[in-house]
């Protein structure tokens, strides 16, 4: 089965597993998804990320985080989609939910959080926002 938008699939798996109360979730990965997961881990939205192979597929096991038995991730919005790409200049990057959330931008310097992209004065494709 071919997935037309692997980033949306990965984000949806994380959101659904978090809302169902699972401890972890397995996700097909590529370099972009690995970068997004690294940002989520560094910002405290997810726990440990462990790589493994399942046949010929590269996979990761993502440990989900909870606070007082409530999911840390309340919502994920995929902004840029295969049919409609959304690009932002660095001046147009704004805080997500008054800095409670996180935006993820794919820039020429790699995938980074919205605040890092704004700090480095670099724009790019607005992938998603998480809160």
pLDDT tens per residue, range 34-81: 999 999 999 999 999 999 999 999 999 999 999 998 999 999 999 999
CATH architecture of 76-130: 2-Layer Sandwich (3.30)
pLDDT tens per residue, range 105-127: 999 999 999 999 999 999 999 99
- With b meaning 16 or more CB within 10 Å and e meaning fewer, what string describes 102-130? bbbbbbeeebbbbbbbbeeebbbebbbbb
Whole-model pTM? 0.90
Domain with CATH 3.30.1490.10 in the chain: 76-130
Whole-angstrom distance, CA of residue 131 vs CA of residue 109: 24
Instruction: Indicate the class that CATH gives domain 6-71.
Output: alpha beta
């Amino acid at each position: 089965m071919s997935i037309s938008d692997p980033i949306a699939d990965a984000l949806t798996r994380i959101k659904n597993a978090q809302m169902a109360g699972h401890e972890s979730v397995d996700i097909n990965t590529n370099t972009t998804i690995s970068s997004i997961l690294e940002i989520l881990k560094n910002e405290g939205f997810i726990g440990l990320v462990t790589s493994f192979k399942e046949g010929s597929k590269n996979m990761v096991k993502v440990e989900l985080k909870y606070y007082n038995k409530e999911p840390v991730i309340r919502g994920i919005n995929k902004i840029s989609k295969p049919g409609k790409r959304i690009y932002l200049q660095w001046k147009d990057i704004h805080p997500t939910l008054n800095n409670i959330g996180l935006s993820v931008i794919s820039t020429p310097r790699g995938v980074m959080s919205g605040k890092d992209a704004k700090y480095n004065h670099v724009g790019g494709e607005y992938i998603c926002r998480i809160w």
